[in-house]
Structures are given as C-alpha cells and as structure tokens.
Structure 1
Amino acid sequence: MTITELLPPDVEPVTLAEVKAHLRLETTEEDTLLTALIHTARLHLESQTGLCLISRLLRLYLDDWPEGRVIQIARGPVQTIEIVTVYDSSGAPVELDTAGYVLDGAARPARLVLPERRATERALNGIEIDFTAGFGESGADVPDTLKRALTLHVAAMFELRGVLSLDDQPGAVPQGYERLIAPHCQRRL
C-alpha cells in the first residue's frame, strides 16, 4: 500500500501572521524563512500522526484487493472517495462504480467497503483509489492542539535558524509537542 499526494493543500494550517504574533515579530525580514518553517512543521506533524491537516487529493495504490471486504486507508480523516480505478489485462484503466460504497472516514485508519471489486491484471499498483482527506479547507478547521503544536515547533526551529540550515530542519521538537499531538497519533502493538 502506497499513498501519494496528487494536489498539495492550498493553505497551511497556521498563518504567517499567527506565527509572527507568537514570536512577537513585527518586521517582514524573516517572512520567507517562517513560511518555509511552517511548511516543514506541517510535514513533520503529518508524518508523525498520519493525518492530513488541510484537505487535499491523495491516491492509494494497492497491488490487489485485501482478503476481507474492508479496505483500510492510513491517511485521514477521509472526507470522500473520488475515483476507484482498476487496470485490466491490456493495461487499460477501468473506473469502478462507487455508488453505494460505505466509508468510515473518521476511523483511524479509515475504512472503505466498495460494492464492486473487479479483479486487476496488473502485478503492482493495479488498483488506485483517489480520495480527499483533511480536516477542512482552512486552518480554522484544524484542531487547536495541533495548531498549537505547529506554532511551538516553528518557534523552536526559528530559534535554531543560525545553527541549522532549512534543509536540516526539523532540528528540534519543543517541550510539550509530543503531549499535544499524542491524542492524534496512531499507536500500534
């Protein structure tokens, strides 16, 4: 199972103005760096939690259908299933009818049951499921604890701006960060 991002989010969960207010910065000299740090902090948080903070289009690749009827989608929260494509013996894509699908998008991982499961002839990545995942279209839809974690993380990275290059970030995770994101992390046994 592989998931790729088809379209990046249009906005970040926290704005430059929110971060600057937290840091008590009034000049624009560091705006480019802060914007990049916000992006880095979001990517780090999303990799830690398995969440998409801002809604975007993703694609799940499967080699074959799972043994049970339930397809698990590791990124969430899943809002909608857009398209399900299966590749036939000639390698041509066939779009499946998704009418009547059942989606539990809030579950972690999200769960999907499709009414039709046509066999794929491709050995690898024969099934593609395009879906939209995220809390919403703007930072206002993102839980406050996650926004707070992002702001603290950006501040910690900003503190290290003279020590670490942007490519070496995130260089530090601030105290309290783990506690803020813990309720949103998936734990495995």
Structure 2
Amino acid sequence: MAEPIDLDQAKAQLRVDHGDEDDLITGLIQAAREWVENYTGLILVQRNVTETFDSLCKAQRLDAWPIEADASVSIAYLDGGGIQQELTDVRLLAGKRPARISAAIGAAWPTIYSADDAVAVTVQAGYPTAEAVPWALKQAILLHIQAMYDQGSLGSAEEAALKSLCWPFVRITV
C-alpha cells in the first residue's frame, strides 16, 4: 500500500514545484508516518506485523491496530522437541482495540515450554487504503513534513501540535 500522504500532497504542502528534492521529501513522508505510528500505536500502511509472546493463554491481546475482521493470522512456535510448528485453529476477535486471538471454538492452544518470545503471531494490520487513514493523522504527517523540511527538526510548538492531532488515536493502557 502507498503512504497515507503521497509525494504530490507533500509537495503542495511545502509549496515545492520542482523535482529536485523528491527523494528528500519521500524520506520525510516515511519518517513522518513512522513518527505518527510510534506515537499512536497505529499501523498506517497495511503490512504483516509479527508480535512475539512467551506463551499462549486463553486469549492473547495484539498491539497491532487496526486489524480487519478477515485478516490473515498465523502462529508459529517451537514444540518440546525444538521443531517449528504452525497453528491454524485461530480465532481473530478484531471488533475493538485491542484485537485478540484465541483458539478456534472447540480447539485448544498447545502447552508451550520454551524460552521467552517462543510464539510468533503474524497478522495483517493497518488501514486498507490511504483514504481510510483518519484526516487528523494525515494532517499530523503533513505538519511533521513541513517542520522537518523548514527547520530540520521539530520544535516544541510543532511537537505539541502533532501530539494534539494524534491524541484521540493513542491507545491508553491501564
């Protein structure tokens, strides 16, 4: 999937009408998107995300969000003999944040005895299209691009504005 803000949108924000700095601006788009993803915990560009756990319990919370209800999920782990196994009886509960995985109805998770991060859960996460990304997050990306292009860094006022735009999307954990 493409970035939530494309090169033409970024150049319009910056009032740049030449192609001399396209590589720089493309890098700023990616850096700004990554800043928003890190601050909010959201995945803006749809991709496979792998999270690791030391075991499986009845329902495991996933950090990745958003996740479509029909997203593909795979779980890999090492069995007691050190052989890689894959679970296919997985139920994805993606109606609200955080999404959860659990054993399919009528199935049970295997007992896993191994080291930390022994279970790798890979799920397709992120907004399905650039148009699906909330406008406030796109504005944050544009503001970040503008500050980095003009000043080379974020000032305190820019950072406060970015956080204000992103705040409604930040996952609060208790």
Give TM-score, length-normalised by structure 2.
0.87
> Deviation per CA, 1:14-67, whole angstroms, max 9, x where unpaired?
10100101111101122111111111111111010000001100111111124x
Residue 149 of structure 2 corresponds to 158
| Distance verdict in 2 for CA 1:106–1:38, change over 3 Å | farther
> Could you tell me which residue of structure 2 aligns to residue 85 of structure 1?
76
TM-aligned CA distance change 1:152 to 1:106, over 3 Å: farther
**Matches of 1:34 and 1:152 in 2, distance apart?**
13
Amino acid at match of 2:4: P
Question: What CA distance in whole angstroms lies between the structure 2 residues aligned with 1:179 and 1:59?
Answer: 29
Q: Equivalent residue of 1:176, what SS?
A: helix
Letter in 1 for 2:163: E
More helix by share: 2
Q: CA RMSD in A?
A: 1.8
Q: CA distance change for structure 1 residues 62 and 188 in 2, over 3 Å: closer, same or farther?
A: closer
Q: Structure 1: 5+ residue runs without aligned partners?
A: 1-9, 162-169
Do residues 131 (structure 1) and 120 (structure 2) align?
Answer: no
**Structure 2 stretches of 5 or more lacking a match?**
none
Amino acid at match of 2:73: E
1:104 corresponds to which letter in structure 2?
L
Contact 2:144–2:154 under 8 Å retained in 1: no
TM-score, structure 1 as length reference: 0.81
Match of 1:44 among 35, 45, 64: 35
Please tell me whether the aligned partners of residues 52 and 118 of structure 2 are also in contact (alpha carbons under 8 angstroms). yes
- The aligned counterpart of 1:53 is 44
Does 2:173 correspond to 1:188?
yes
Q: Which amino acid aligns with 1:179?
A: S
Which of 71, 74, 77 aligns to 2:63? It is 74
Q: In 1, are the aligned partners of 2:44 and 2:127 still within 8 Å (CA)? A: yes
1:12 equivalent in structure 2:
3
What is the CA-CA distance between 1:150 and the residue it aligns to? 0.4
For the Cα contact (< 8 Å) 1:83–1:130, is it kept in 2? Answer: yes
Query: Aligned equivalents of 1:87 and 1:25: distance in 2?
Result: 52
Q: How many residues align?
A: 167
Following TM superposition, the consecutive aligned residue runs of length 4 or more in structure 1 with deviations greater than 6 angstroms are: none
1-structure distance, mates of 2:51, 2:173: 21
2:64 is matched by which residue type in structure 1?
R
